[in-house]
Structure formats: structure tokens, C-alpha cells
Amino acid sequence: MDAERWSRLSPLLDALFELEPRARERRLNELRAEDKALAADLEALMALEQEQDDFLAKPCLPKDVEQRIRRMLKPPRLKVPAKS
């Protein structure tokens, strides 16, 4: 799943998890009418979370990859010349 797709799914998934089961099903039906693929992705992620309580708590990337990405995104440090 790419970052753009996840950025669309993530807030919807959070909102769905906050709903009671009946309201969640109604909202999924609304989403399904708008975008079947989106609703299917949400249902698949919800099913994974229900099967494994900590599914969304685990990092998606291996630790070494995550660390490399963090280093790449880290702002550069400015070198201040020594005072004479």
C-alpha cells in the first residue's frame, strides 16, 4: 500500500474503530456506495485488527529500514565555525 492510499484510509479507519458495530456497518455501506475498493480495503484492515489485537501497533517496516528512513529525513546539522 502506498503512502497516498494510506493517508486516505487511516483517518477513515480511525473513525470506523470509534463507532459502535451498527454505526460502523452503516458507515461502511455509505463508503461502499461511494468507493467499493476503498471500503474493501477498510474491511480488510479491520479484519486484520480483529484477528490480531496488536496488528496496527506494530511498525510496518523492519527496524533497520525505519532507522535509515529516519536518518534520511532528519534535518541536516549546521556546522558552526569555531571562534578564534
Torsion angle defined by CA atoms of residues 25, 29, 34 and 38, in that order, rounded to the nearest 10 degrees: 50
Q: What are the sequence ranges of the domains in the chain?
A: 3-73
In this predicted structure, what is the pLDDT of residue 65?
A: 66
In this predicted structure, what is the pLDDT of residue 27?
A: 96
In this predicted structure, what is the pLDDT of residue 55?
A: 55
**Using an 8 Å Cβ cutoff, are 38 and 9 in contact?**
yes
**Using an 8 Å Cβ cutoff, are 48 and 13 in contact?**
no
In this predicted structure, what is the pLDDT of residue 68?
A: 72
Residues 6+ apart with CB under 8 A from 17: 24, 46, 49
In this predicted structure, what is the pLDDT of residue 56?
A: 58
pLDDT mean by block of 10 residues, the chain; 84 residues: 81 92 95 94 86 62 67 70 73
